[in-house]
Amino acid sequence: MQKNARKNIIYSIILLLVVFLVYLYRQNQQSPQLPTPEKDGKKTITGKTMGTSYRIVYLDEQGRDFKPAVDSLLEVFNQSLSTYIPDSELSRFNDGDTLAFESVYLPTVLKTSKDIFRRTDGAFDPTVGPLVNAWGFGPEGAQLKDSVNIFQLLRLIGFEHIQFDTEKVWKTQPDTYLDFSAIAKGYGVDVVAGYLQDEGIDDMLVEIGGELVARGTNENGELWKVGVNQPSEDVTANDIFSIIGLDNKGMATSGNYRNFYYKDSVRYSHTIDPKTGQPVNHRLLSATVVAEDCMTADAFATAMMVMGTEKAIALQKGQEDIDVFLIYSDSLGMQTYISEKLKPFVSYIKGEKE
């Protein structure tokens, strides 16, 4: 009798445990999943700089307005690297032969430019400006020039004509002209992002003229997501082709599909090959580069538009610090290439497919 009573007690305890565990399981299944906590203090500031606009979204529980400080910072930045300001650091170097550095910006952009000039075999070259202007893609917009003396200008082109050390920069070809328009916006984005980080901002999306840096997450605790425009010759069209999530990265896009003109039924794009002196003629429509910083992404995006699709893909595969999203055309229409590490961060809309 005692054995049976003991067994009954044990069975009862086990049964109660099973019932209790089933109850807990059902309660857990019925409980709604808690959403990712939203972050407070979203702020947005906008303004004008470098002949374009900027937009910065950041999260700050203190609700601080950084616009006055950002505007002042960008003014100092432009006073160093602008080719439109006659007395800027860069303009004075272009007018002369040697210049002692006056800011951190010029030596930094020179060092990065030299590195990417080498890594792209000269496809990225900040001395190409005179050719761009000669072909009619200067500040006044795309227009055909009466005559273009390419061979005379080619002797001025080549970043190897620019030499520098820790204190100064000088030219080995007196008439060589530097223009950092293909890297300056990206560098400016990095400078602003660095300033905000120094102020204790961990979550931000900084954009200048379409070049971006994302840090942290948005107000919903998600990666910052940015769009890549669908290539279109219509300057009023802003259709989004794809969305890229940025995980603490910089991103820049370069394209040939808007800044161009026709002569005798031949299409001339604003991207000039520094080696040939001619506008490029290939089927790469848009190159989006993702890198650790926006300055690097900006320069590589320009280089890839010089190279074309096949060479751009080969270049990316040889670099560990960049990823790419390329849009190009072939006999079947518009196509894309996405580097492997970037694929999980890319999504399409409007039925577009990879």
Class of domain 42-348: alpha beta
Q: Which of 232, 189, 228 is nearest to 212 (CA)?
A: 189
C-beta atoms surrounding 345 within 10 Å: 18
Domain extent listing, the chain: 1-34, 42-348
> DSSP E strands: which ranges in the chain?
42-49, 52-59, 98-100, 162-164, 168-171, 204-208, 211-215, 224-229, 240-246, 250-255, 260-263, 266-269, 284-291, 322-330, 333-338, 346-348
> Is 40 annotated as contributing to ligand binding?
no
**If we measure between CA atoms, which residue out of 281, 141, 274, 258 comes closest to residue 210?**
258
CA nearest neighbour of 74 among 92, 94, 100, 48: 48
Q: What Rg value do the Cα atoms of the chain yield, rounded?
A: 27
Q: Is 182 annotated as a binding residue?
A: yes
- Name, in order, each residue with C-beta under 8 angstroms of 340's C-beta and a sequence gap of 6 or more: none
- In order along its 354 residues, the chain shows pLDDT tens digits of 555 555 555 555 555 554 454 455 555 544 344 444 556 799 999 999 999 999 999 999 999 999 999 999 999 999 999 999 999 999 999 999 999 999 999 999 999 999 999 999 999 999 998 888 887 766 555 555 555 678 888 999 999 999 999 999 999 999 999 999 999 999 999 999 999 999 999 999 999 999 999 999 999 999 999 999 887 655 455 678 899 999 999 999 998 755 554 555 555 567 899 999 888 888 899 999 999 999 999 999 999 999 999 999 999 999 999 999 999 998 888 899 999 999 999 997 654 444
Q: Which two tokens stand for residue 293?
A: 């910083």
Q: How many CB atoms lie within 10 A of CB 30?
A: 7
CA distance 253 to 290: 9
Q: Is 276 annotated as a binding residue?
A: no
pTM, entire model? 0.84
